[in-house]
Each structure stands twice: as C-alpha cells, then as structure tokens.
Structure 1
Amino acid sequence: MAVPKRRHSKSRKRIKKAYFKIAPLNLRACPKCGTKTRPHYACVECGTYKNRQIVKIKEKKATPKDA
C-alpha cells in the first residue's frame, strides 16, 4: 500500500483545497413568466423550456379560510 514519504505543509493542503469551492448558480429570467431559473432546465413556475410548454403545472386552488 502506498504511504506518503513527506508531510504536506499547511500551505500545500490549503492550495489543494482552494479548488473545491462552491461556485454561484447561473440564473436567467424565464422568457414567459420572468422568474429566475437555471439554464437548460424547465421553468418551475410555468413549465416551459425554450418557449415550449414541457411540463403541465397544476393550478393551486384557493382554500377559503373560515373565521
């Protein structure tokens, strides 16, 4: 089994871990409804992708609140 010959210094470790940072999401506005969505994904609100209806979104029913 392989065993490291030398100890890695703090700066060596930190330089190596600097590449594993979280990148911010690229968001774009949906051309139909204007909500922010990820590119190459169908819109969550209206269900369109490339100006075509892909997913059928059920309309939310308004529930009357009793006093």
Structure 2
Amino acid sequence: MKPSKGVVIEDMGVKFECNGVDNGKLWFKNVRVPVQNLLNRFSDIDENNNFSSVVKNRREYVIF
C-alpha cells in the first residue's frame, strides 16, 4: 500500500529514549484536508480560519 500523492510517511528511527514506542512522521504537501476532518485534540481552526492551540509551551507537547 502506498500513500496518496502529496502524503509523506517516515519512521522516527532510533531515539535517545522511549525506543519501545514506535513513532512516525506524517506530512501533507499541497494536500487539502477539510476542517471537519482535522484531528484537533490540541488545536483548532475557527470559522474565520484562525488557528488556536491549547499547547502554550511546545516542550509541554512532547509529554503527550
């Protein structure tokens, strides 16, 4: 199975810690995702296309 055009999937590889967790990266290049399909647990886009996030400190996000 291959990803759709414009979607890039990569493994995070070896990490300094937590190697028992299999993390990956997902990029969307020139791919439109409808707002109602966004995974928005930590951030959101309102009806005026303004972005907001509950994560104030980027380092805090790593804990999640």
Query: TM-score over 0.5 for the alignment?
Result: no
TM-score range, shorter chain: under 0.3
Structure whose alpha-carbon radius of gyration is higher: 1
Larger strand fraction of residues: 2
Query: Normalising by structure 1, what TM-score?
Result: 0.20
Say which structure, 1 or 2, has more relative contact order (CA 8 Å, 6+ apart): 2
